Amino acid sequence: MNKINNTLILGEFSWCTSSREIHRIDEKPSDNDKTILTPKQYLLLECLYQAYPHPIDKEQIIAHVWGTQHISNESLPQLIIRTRKTLEDKEKSIIVNMPGKGYLLSFKQSEAPAPVIENINKPKAYSLAQKITVLGLALLTGINAMWCIKAKNEKDQFHQVMFSTPYPYIKPVGNGELIIQVGQQECHFDSEHSALECK
């Protein structure tokens, strides 16, 4: 039996084995006919279904539902009671206790095809307009990054010029003239004519 995404009849309810939802059979489909199993109820039904047609003992159920977590002796019986109540299994004919062997799930295979459960991990398809928008935003981001790098470089150059150590061999004479010592030579700079004369 293929045990992936099957629909089972559990008393008055149908259950798609890949979902935590159970639906009452005798009502028209609506949100009101849907009941959500708790995670532990789902794990209980899942391990009973996977063991079918054989019963499964308490230790295997506990390992499947709780893993290595320490639980009290009453945890499994209480979970079975709550799950039977959810399934309206008053006669204990759905989750069947088999003394000395464990528990067995009693169900009928539904004739209806299992509902298609949408794969939430399926990648989303994007329209051409969305792709163009993303591409345009990526291009603008790249251009802005280049301008930011250029602006930072220019700022660094400006700081180097503004805060550099001045040339120590310059003396102002007056009237816009400067005397500049270049090696052993003394040069006169005339700012009016932008001329440098060395002797």
Identify whether 183 is part of a domain.
yes
Q: Do 22 and 104 fall into the same domain?
A: yes
Q: Does residue 119 lie in a domain region?
A: no
Question: Is position 154 within any domain?
Answer: no
Q: Are 11 and 103 members of one domain? A: yes
Q: What span, in angstroms and rounded, lies between the C-alpha atoms of 173 and 179? A: 7
Place of tokens 């959810």: 86
pLDDT on residue 1: 47
Total-model pTM: 0.52
Q: Are residues 87 and 181 in the same domain?
A: no
Q: Which two tokens stand for residue 56?
A: 């499964």
Q: What is the pLDDT of residue 78?
A: 92
Q: How far is it, in rounded angstroms, from Cα 113 to Cα 7? A: 7
Whether 158 maps to a domain, the answer reads no
Domain end, chosen from 86, 109, 132, is at 109
What is the reported pLDDT for 141?
92
Q: And the tokens for 199?
A: 């002797």
pLDDT at 157: 86
How many structural domains are present in the chain? 2
Asked whether residue 50 is domain-assigned, the answer is: yes
Q: Would you write out the chain's pLDDT as a tens digit for each of its 199 residues?
A: 455 567 888 888 888 888 888 888 875 655 567 888 889 989 988 988 888 889 988 889 888 888 878 888 888 889 989 989 988 888 888 889 888 888 988 888 776 554 444 444 545 667 888 889 989 999 999 999 999 999 988 888 887 877 777 667 777 777 778 788 877 888 877 777 778 787 7
pLDDT at position 116: 46
Residue 169 and residue 83 in one domain: no
Q: Are residues 179 and 96 in the same domain?
A: no
Q: What is the CATH number of the domain that holds 85?
A: 1.10.10.10
Task: With respect to residue 195, please indicate whether it lies within any of the assigned structural domains.
Answer: yes
> Same structural domain for residues 13 and 105?
yes
* Domain of 89, in residue numbers: 7-109
Answer with the one of 88, 109, 130 that is the final residue of a domain: 109
Kindly give the residue spans of alpha helices, DSSP state H, lying in 67-164. Answer: 75-86, 128-162
> Which residue is associated with the tokens 């959500």?
36
pLDDT at position 3: 58
Residue 115 belongs to a domain: no
CB 34 within 8 A of CB 99: no
The residue among 63, 87, 109 that closes a domain is: 109
Residue 96 forms part of a structural domain:
yes
**Angle, in degrees to the nearest 10, between helices 39-51 and 75-86:** 90
Q: What pLDDT sits at residue 146?
A: 92
